[in-house]
Chain A
Amino acid sequence: MIPPTAYLDALSHIDAPSNITAARQDFLGKFLQAGLPDSHQEDWRYTSLAHLERMPLHAPEAMPETLPALEDYPGALLAYSDDRLVWQDTTLPATVLSTLSDAIGSGMPAAFGSLAGNGSLTQLNAALWREGACLRVPAGERLRQPVFLRFAAAEPDAMLYPRVFIHMAVGSDAILVENFLGDPGIEYWQNPVTEIILEAGARLTHLRIIEDSKLATHTGLTAVHQASDSSYRALNLTLGGQVARHELKLTLAGAGAEARLDGVFIVEGRRSAEQHLRIVHLAPRGNSRTFYRGLADGRGRGVFDGRVEVRAHADGSDAQQSSRNLLLSPHAEIDAKPQLEIYADDVKCSHGATVGSLDEDALFYLRSRGIDSETARRLLLEAFVGEALGLLDDTGLRDWMMPRLLARMPRSHSEESRP
């Protein structure tokens, strides 16, 4: 196991606001007691973090000196490298968008830390986060530009704990993009936690893009709490990481709240991508739509684990879940676990999950129209994935995102790898 000294050492290097130091020690104690989750725990049955034990993990040491060349981000931007703010480009006042340490320095945001729960990795993040972002959109305000949070990794074997807190006041409206990436070829562990509170009538569109290095481990959590008539729309894209796992805990706590969760994951090589969704309908007339598409190539493994819980008295709830997956190689694997837990009777819930391969008839049709098989295959894969990308149009980010996504599409295959 990773020696506790690695974590204790990381804790001692944090120059955090002093008002939370005791709490950090408490969290670390709880994590050390529980340890890393393993596959004996039902929620972790498909995940192995055993490789972390073999890595010389440590808190990032070097202070990045030069700014990385940043691509064009069409909106406000906070850019981090190894858990330090290295660049910002924003005209928003600090009361709206700031680093998390600045926000906490000027008073702890209400409800910070209240949503993340007590998973052991979440507690580790609570103990060891060094920097992050805080976005607080005032009541009735609509941000005209998307807010980008870019978390990059540059140091090998670093443990990174980005922390984000989002508060959408009554009737506010914003677009948020979280982007996780790292230098190609380096190993590191990214363990971010994002908490999002939507007050009554607030609207948030949230893109979360994992483009970590092919050797990286990503174990992220997003926790969302929705008050009445709020709307949370998310697009989760898992395109990188050796082991990439994202857990989304969403609570529809107010009547008439609405959530739409879209996602795409693409795995090849020996990569694995896991989506764990926990949707809880607490209040009447909640509406949740889940729409995930997965591609598994090479020896990749994709996991879709979605659970919808409708609690007693959440009458009129409507929850639909769809997970469709394609296996593109004889060695790839897809595991799907769409679950419903219903404790109310006036509900409409359904889920569908499919695992299959590309439709030979569709390929044949396209080829009979004179399209070569590579192009035909690409068209079909893009169309398949495209079904889950509707939010790119709604946010105007299609041009920004599509080239990055297409670059991750599975490469063309020789005949022998097809069934």
Chain B
Amino acid sequence: MSNLDLQRQIDSEYRWGFVTDIEQEPFPQGLDESVIRRISAQKGEPAFMLEWRLKAYQHWLTLHEPTWATVHHPPIDYQKIYFYAAPKMGNRPKSLAEVDPQLLATYEKLGIPLQEREALAGVAVDAVFDSVSVATTFKDKLETLGIVFCSFSEAVREHPELVRQYLGSVVPYTDNFFASLNSAVFSDGSFVYVPKGVNCPMELSTYFRINASNSGQFERTLIIADEGASVSYLEGCTAPRRDENQLHAAVVELIALKDARIKYSTVQNWYPGDAEGRGGIYNFVTKRGECRGDNAHISWTQVETGSAITWKYPSCILRGDNSVGEFYSVALTNHHQQADTGSKMIHIGRNTHSTIVSKGISAGHASNAYRGLVKVLAGADNARNHTRCDSLLMGPDCAAHTFPYIEVKNPSARVEHEASTSKIGEDQLFYLRSRGLSEEDAVNLIVNGFCKEVFKELPMEFAVEAQKLLAVSLEGAVG
């Protein structure tokens, strides 16, 4: 590939980098108890939620921002952030006709099927525009099955008993710096409850979109699969272009009770910053699932191509006997992007199995790290883990790291970790080119093969999008 092509690719604009001009009613910058009280009041939350937020805030004040991740960024001034921003809409719209047409136009541009388009039947979208959930589809169909799929604020109002029982039970507000911050100020998010024995008939999906300049987004997602239930949840993101760094500190909690299955898939394509690395999203996320009952199954799949900085370790606590945890990840970093991502698998129950497959691709000046922990406690007889981390390097200025931790206290456990780092083989490229493929096609083919193990875990809709995303992000990275 010629330098010209490379330059063209590097210079290409972020496709989704437009800004919708909608009136916002921002809170003042910064954070103190009054802001938290105001968030809580605005959402009409019960007292226990406010109490929980304030405890989280008090705890957060005692914490320091973690520095162990191999990422670099200027210090974040938490008093310069707008902790809450809601589109001005008065009361919730009863139907799409009441929704601000500008908002709908934004979704239109993104191709989100907010109206119930039969073409994408099977995908119910709970769209989050900045911080307030604006519309939910397919709700009736889910309701007849007893499945609750709604915004977090709605869940707090309508199902406080469920929220109270499960919120913070996997990621307590004391968990880490960003999780504490999220617990104090989280604005909204998604809530899913699948009752006993119910098999959710469609993929549940949420699109997040960060819009207001400087408004940190603090999503909170809580998914509960009751005994014997199963659900597949998709999360996908694009964000408009902005120059200031935007902080995003989400928390996702998954709870799988006995015999339940949860599959959580993410395609993350937030604005990564320009070619010099300015203005991208900071994505500091805490994602954790707990297999609370026997034979439970939690699977994380992620394709990360966006954000200036990604800091994310979807984890599984395998408490129930015979429970299974899986983590499949493709993380691609280009230009000045930095990713520090991986997974934790905590084996507590007997016969628990976990699999980690992590594929990292670094190009340009980017840095990509896998950081993970596999811990087998003394009671986890016959625990099994297999971890595979591969890194692909493209260009002399990028970096790839692997930091796995393996801690085993049970002799019947079998834990295997393998990792490799290399660049795309000249001989592979040469072979494909000698068969008439262009260099770009050859690179795409090799990268797709490299990521295949992960892509095959994605639901159909995402698998197609993910492959395209990767191809777009990588064009011109090898030359």
* Interface residues of A, Cβ cutoff 8 Å to B: 42, 312-313, 315, 325, 327-357, 418-419
Contacts and interface: CB of A to CB of B under 8 A. Distances in A.
Interface in B376-406: 376, 378, 381-382, 391, 393-406
Contact of A345 (B398, B401, B418, B419): B398
B185 interface: no
- Counting chain B CB atoms within 10 Å of each CB, the highest count among A342, A348, A356, A418 belongs to A342
B31 to A, nearest CB: 28
A42 B68 CA distance: 9
Given A335-B407, A353-B406, A343 B399 contact: yes
B411 interface: yes
B422 A347 contact: yes
A173 B423 CA distance: 36
Contacts of B405: 335-337
Contact of A342 (B68, B401, B416): B401
A19 B298 CA distance: 65
A331 B378 contact: yes
A356 B413 contact: yes
Given A347-B393, A347-B421, A419-B381, A341 B399 contact: yes
B417 interface: yes
Contacts, number: 123
A342 B413 contact: no
Interface string B52-74: 00000000000000001010000
Given A335-B408, A339-B404, A351-B402, A327 B396 contact: no
Given A345-B396, A355-B376, A356-B416, 11 more contacts: A42-B68, A313-B396, A332-B409, A333-B409, A335-B407, A336-B405, A339-B401, A340-B400, A343-B399, A353-B418, A419-B411
Give the size category of B's interface with A: 35 or more
A330 B413 CA distance: 10
Contacts of B68: 42
A337 B397 contact: no
A274 to B, nearest CB: 13
Contacts of A357: 411-414
B412 A419 contact: yes
A353 B387 CA distance: 10
Nearest to B392: A345
Given A350-B419, A419-B411, A337 B404 contact: yes
Contacts of A345: 393-396, 398, 423
B345 to A, nearest CB: 13
A329 B378 CA distance: 11
Contact of B399 (A313, A328, A342, A419): A342
- Counting chain A CB atoms within 10 Å of each CB, the highest count among B70, B401, B402, B416 belongs to B402
B397 A333 contact: no
B421 A355 contact: no
Contact of B408 (A313, A333, A344, A350): A333
Given A346-B423, A348-B422, A327 B403 contact: no
Contacts of B398: 345
Contacts of B395: 345
Contact of A341 (B401, B410, B411, B417): B401
Nearest to A324: B416
B3 interface: no
A338 B370 CA distance: 12
A335 B381 CA distance: 17
Contact of B406 (A312, A329, A336, A348): A336
18 contacts: A329-B411, A330-B378, A333-B408, A335-B406, A339-B404, A340-B421, A345-B398, A346-B423, A347-B393, A349-B420, A351-B417, A351-B419, A352-B418, A353-B406, A354-B415, A355-B408, A355-B413, A357-B414
Nearest to A325: B408
Contacts of A350: 418-421
B44 to A, nearest CB: 43
